[in-house]
Structure 1
């Protein structure tokens, strides 16, 4: 897990402008749309004082939104890992290519995960770990639905402890960072709108590091990282001949 985070941080630092580009053009707009949609859908339930349904809608829409936001970030990782460079156009082509598939798949899995989290917690976490690999399998390997689901579950099972560790680590960092910056925003501005923007900006910079860590772990798991290292080794041998 620590090795994945270390590699992810190097990737993050070396491609920060692309991270910023994705954040401004994809992550922030989707977060804004998510915020508007959740507030609109939850309003009647808050009015009639039904607390569970707003939380359920927030969780479902959040998971669906995150699934979509992951696509260009995964594309960045795989481009840089395979070629040593990143093309901005490919980030958006991969987003357009995979968004509809991942959107459709995310609906039932977001609902199942939300039910597990709200009612039983532990089953929800297990489902989240099993399903979080879906966008990674699709973008990296471009497989069919059946293969994507099978590989996602296998990836979750075989890396369950480390994936749970990454989830808890980044959730804690996100909570602390969001709380701290939200507190500062309220103190200096006193406006909830500033607080909401602060939370979205924190997520915009934190989410890529989390995605890069998972992507690096997935590439180690599926063996592609080893094959790439072997190719680099043989290329270096060829240069010295």
Structure 2
């Protein structure tokens, strides 16, 4: 419970940073992901296999979340190691780590998708084993293959803890997303605005989720 309270406190303390990184990094990435995912879903739907459209959606969403977390992982890391934060350093960290997180995130997402297609449990296990990759990159400075190897070590050692935290945060996020969507549908009839509201909501919730996981990662593996 302490990690959730501490994350809320950090959220309030770094609200201006969150808004800036959210508007300039997270929201544009979410918007692009929404556009690309919808395009591929509709593409599959036109040939009568719309159910297959969920796979590219998952791949692009995973990559987007991995990349979008980078500046917020920087914020929680700086707080935990008592390092001064700056906007310029946040952007530097983002652009320094964006490429390896993008490439490795794509590989992880594709492997998880293949595992899910073959049998759902291997896909979920693969996701849990490597889901901490962006945290390894930012917290420990390990990227590419070394980061992937390190993420696997952490995921394997902390598999059940990772699953527990991920499931809890996923349930909370889904519930809040459902409430937001319900209120949007109830009050608006413009689909574009409804989608924008969902993206803005995700922009605001992602930093908190990242802070929570960052606190756990710090407790588990770093210092």
Match of 2:46 in 1: 47
* SS of the residue 1:214 aligns to: helix
Match of 1:239 in 2: none
Structure 1 runs of 4+ aligned residues shifted over 6 Å read none
Q: 1:129–1:160: 8 Å Cα contact kept in structure 2?
A: yes
Match of 1:71 in 2: 70
**For residues 223 and 110 of structure 1, what CA distance do their matches in structure 2 show?**
25
- Post-superposition Cα deviations, 1:173-230, rounded to whole Å, max 9, x if no partner, equal 2211111111111121112212211221221121111111111122222242xxxxxx
How far did residue 144 of structure 1 move?
4.5
**For residues 61 and 136 of structure 1, what CA distance do their matches in structure 2 show?**
19
* SS of the residue 2:94 aligns to: helix
Match of 1:198 in 2: 197
Of residues 166-175 and 99-108 in structure 1, the stretch that sits farther from structure 2 once superposed is 166-175
**For residues 209 and 160 of structure 1, what CA distance do their matches in structure 2 show?**
22
Q: Does 1:211 align with 2:213?
A: no
Q: 1:178–1:198: 8 Å Cα contact kept in structure 2?
A: no
- Post-superposition Cα deviations, 1:112-131, rounded to whole Å, max 9, x if no partner, equal 11223344222222111111
The two structures have a TM-score, normalised by structure 2, of: 0.92
Distance 1:194 1:119, change over 3 A: farther
Q: 1:166–1:210: 8 Å Cα contact kept in structure 2?
A: no
Distance 1:223 1:109, change over 3 A: closer
**For residues 180 and 149 of structure 1, what CA distance do their matches in structure 2 show?**
36
Distance 1:118 1:3, change over 3 A: farther
Q: 2:17–2:87: 8 Å Cα contact kept in structure 1?
A: yes
Q: Does 1:93 align with 2:107?
A: no
Q: Does 1:164 align with 2:149?
A: no
Match of 2:173 in 1: 174
**For residues 117 and 198 of structure 1, what CA distance do their matches in structure 2 show?**
30
Match of 2:153 in 1: 154
Q: 1:72–1:94: 8 Å Cα contact kept in structure 2?
A: yes
Find the structure with the greater CA-based Rg: 1
Q: Does 1:222 align with 2:221?
A: yes
Q: Does 1:140 align with 2:129?
A: no
Give the gaps of 5 or more residues in structure 2.
none
**Paired positions, count:** 223
**For residues 12 and 61 of structure 1, what CA distance do their matches in structure 2 show?**
26
Give the gaps of 5 or more residues in structure 1.
225-241
* SS of the residue 1:222 aligns to: helix
